[in-house]
Amino acid sequence: MQLYNLEDKNVMKEKLMEESFQRVTVSFYRYVIIENPNDLRDELYREWSDLNAFGRTYLAKEGVNAQMSIPEENWEEFITKVHARKYFENIPFKIAVEDDGKSFYKLKIKVRNKIVADGLNDGDFDVTNVGKHLTAAQFNEALADPNSMVIDMRNYYESEVGHFAGAICPDSDTFREELPQVEEMLKGNEDKKILLYCTGGIRCEKASAYLKHKGIKDVNQLHGGIIDYVRQIKAENLDNKFIGKNFVFDERLGERISSEIISECHQCGKPCDDHTNCSNDNCHLLFIQCTECADKFAGACKVDCQEVASLPAEDRREIRKLKENSENDSVYKSRLRPKLNSKVDD
């Protein structure tokens, strides 16, 4: 069998929407030495394809980072097969908070140098010397401690739509950028009780080890991240200290945790926390857009993109070629946040 997907993404999305069965959205990760990640990649692709599994998985010599969508009828078999591998034995699964079964439309498994891009030289410190893992109840208790500093280890566009009450949310576009920012923030606060959290826990594993290496004494991290925090507070009837939405890296782009909307539409300023990607595939910028602006601009982030998105496919391809060959195209070179401080004119 072929070990990658060649089908058109729009066709795959249509097939997903037509499915009559339910799927389970799950994420899991583990830092573990994988001897031959390329061989494992091909084995997993064959195995998971047979189970009609979709999702995005990164493998590296340092471990695995996976977000998956599994048909309910194949869920138990998937768990059994994953746990049967020595690298993934008893690996914990984090089930999605809100799940319509449409989180992924294809299977993608890639081998990378790292399972999370952090820009660190792991040989410089002990990556296994991580912070103390806290349950949801312990994390809530620690949040109330006046000596605590709670830090969001996610990117700005994630914390923009949801975060823990009182959290410090660094203004960073990538995890690689955030680590030195957090290190700088903690200067003079080395004796504070540091509380870290992220989506599923993986970024905090590396961040906590790095901060301990830098001399921070009391480093703690939310076990299982926001995803498992929500599961625990529901199971144990605990107070929810998370405000807004939890951003997720799949087709859903977010899970509702509380009713509060803490962000606004980047185009009109109306309260909104719905992320979307610009409908101009040559841009594909991630931004927040309300339903009214989505209708007005046809899902585009600005008028120029709206005009491009409305062109015939052949013309869009030509523009893409020009963009790819241009070294001075600042609009398409920039993949950072939408600079919409001045709202789009009517």
Residues 6+ apart with CB under 8 A from 205: 31, 127, 130, 221
Dist. CA 331–CA 290, nearest whole Å: 23
Q: ∠255-256-258 over CA atoms, to 5°?
A: 145
Nearest to 21 by CA among 57, 54, 56: 54
Helical ranges in 149-275 per DSSP H:
156-159, 175-185, 202-213, 225-236
Beta partners for 94? Answer: 27
Beta partners for 164? Answer: 242
Other beta carbons less than 10 A from residue 154's beta carbon: 26
SS3 label, residue 66: strand
Dist. CA 267–CA 324, nearest whole Å: 27
Pick the catalytic residue from 169, 198, 272, 283.
198
Dist. CA 169–CA 55, nearest whole Å: 28
Dist. CA 258–CA 260, nearest whole Å: 6
SS3 label, residue 5: coil
Residues 6+ apart with CB under 8 A from 166: 143, 150
User: Is residue 294 exposed (0-12), middle (13-18) or buried (19+ Cβ within 10 Å)?
Assistant: middle
State both tokens at 143.
């949040």
Q: Is 198 a catalytic residue?
A: yes
State both tokens at 319.
């523009």
Tokens 């977010």 appear where? 254
Active site residues: 198
